[in-house]
Each structure stands twice: as C-alpha cells, then as structure tokens.
Amino acid sequence: MKIEAHALEHYYGAEHILRGVDLSIPSSGFTAIIGESGSGKTTLLSILSTLLQPTGGTVTYDGKALAELGNIDLFRRRNIGFVFQFHYLISYLSLRENVALAALAPEGIDPLMERLGIGRLGSRYSDEVSGGERQRAAIARALINHPSVVFADEPTGNLDTKNALGVYELFREFSNSGTGFIVASHDKKIADFADTIIEMEDGIVKKIHH
C-alpha cells in the first residue's frame, strides 16, 4: 500500500509540530523515521497510520484519501498492524490468546508464533516471559492478519541492544516477504536495517536516505 503525504501540518494547541511535510512511502520495504525527541516523528507516524487527523494537509493510501476508505476500523484491521514501545498485551490472557484476539483467521497463529521464536511460549502470560518475548508477541499480533503495512513507534525503547537488534532483524525479514514497515525511532542502529531513512528535525523532513 503506497502512502503519500502532502503539505502535512499539525499543531498541539499553539505548538507547531509538523511544518508542511511531503512524503511518498513505497508499498513495501522497511522505512525508518528518525529524529530527536520533539522532531515530529511520532506525530507523523500517528497521522500516517490513521490514528491522528492532521491539522492541515492530506494523506492518501493507494491514491485514496481517508474519507474514501469507508469503515476506517475495518480498513485498519485488514490493512494495518501496530507495534508500540509498550507492548500493550492483556495481562490476564496468554500470549497466544493476545494474538488470537486480533486474528481474523485463527489457523495462522501457531505458525506465526513459531516463526517469531515464541511458539513454545503460547500458554504463558506476559509477566512470565522476557521483554523481548513480550515484544515478539506484540509483533505477532500486528502481523496476524497479513497487513499491507505495520507501523511501529519506538518498538525497541524498552529493550536491551540484543533484543532491539532482534526486532529490527524480524522487521527486515518480514519486509522482504512483502509487508511494509514504517518505524519511528531515535535509535540510530535502525539505519543498518532500513531501506529508506526519513530524517526529521523541528517538524520538517531534513533528509531522505535510500
């Protein structure tokens, strides 16, 4: 799913966060949005992922504006996956049950969890596994419906270096299989894995590296 943004502006109160952002993100591959805190990367990710309406400007998905997509909840469920810094797993459900809660077709759950290296942990709860394993369960939940694109906001923020690199490697692997990944991060190690790097500074796109 090709995503294009034109003249994006966003304010939080009087604070000007995005200042005329223009972008075209390809339908597949691994795109990283990097920048320091306050650069606008998380706001940009939130707008691109349909979670936030911009103050001004437009975003299109395969040429269609948000208003043309019909039921936005259904559009998200069929086309978009989300991974956040905090895994947001439901503590009283097992890892497998957390993934199943999002699944449109439950038969894909076990093969996906195996592929992510957590198949043996399906019956455990989030407080019984490591931080890296919890994030892998969150990634499984994001991928279970074969979305066109997965958005991730600081997905390695609570992980040590080894587990962080493991998450980036998973994103790289799945992006090679056709799923697009758009990831906001301040972690410069992400540059070793991404196809495209969008560098944000003070609400504008400073550079794009391919």
Residue 59 pairs in a beta bridge with 5
Q: What is the CATH number of the domain that holds 76?
A: 3.40.50.300
**Running DSSP on this structure, what letter comes out for residue 147?**
-
Per-residue model confidence as pLDDT tens digits over 56-102: 999 999 999 988 888 888 888 889 999 877 667 998 999 999 999 88
Judge whether 113 lies within some domain: yes
Task: Indicate whether 58 belongs to any domain.
Answer: no
Nearest to 110 by CA among 118, 166, 102: 118
- Taking 90 as the threshold, does the pLDDT of residue 174 lie above it? no
The pLDDT assigned to 115 comes to 86
Q: Residue 145: give the domain boundaries.
A: 29-35+69-209
- Residue 163's pLDDT is what? 79
Per-residue confidence (pLDDT) for residue 159, from 0 to 100 = 75
* Domains of the chain: total: 1
Crossing angle (nearest 10°) for helices 95-102 and 131-143: 20
Distances (CA, A) of 200 to 37, 102, 153, 174, 186: 10, 32, 14, 25, 10
Residues with Cβ within 8 Å of 201's Cβ and at least 6 positions away in sequence, in order, are 35, 36, 39
pLDDT tens for each residue of 110-152: 999 998 889 999 999 998 998 888 888 999 999 999 899 999 9
Is residue 205 domain-resident?
yes
Contact assessment for residue 191 and residue 210, using Cβ atoms and an 8 Å cutoff = no
User: In the chain, what is the straight-line distance between the N-terminal and C-terminal CA atoms, in Å?
Assistant: 19
* Residue scoring higher pLDDT (74 or 196): 196
CA distance 54 to 44: 9
The strand pair at 56-61 and 3-12 is best described as: antiparallel
In a domain, 20, yes or no: no
- How far is it between the farthest Cα atoms of the chain? 50
| Domain membership flag for residue 106 | yes
Q: Supply the mean pLDDT for the chain.
A: 90
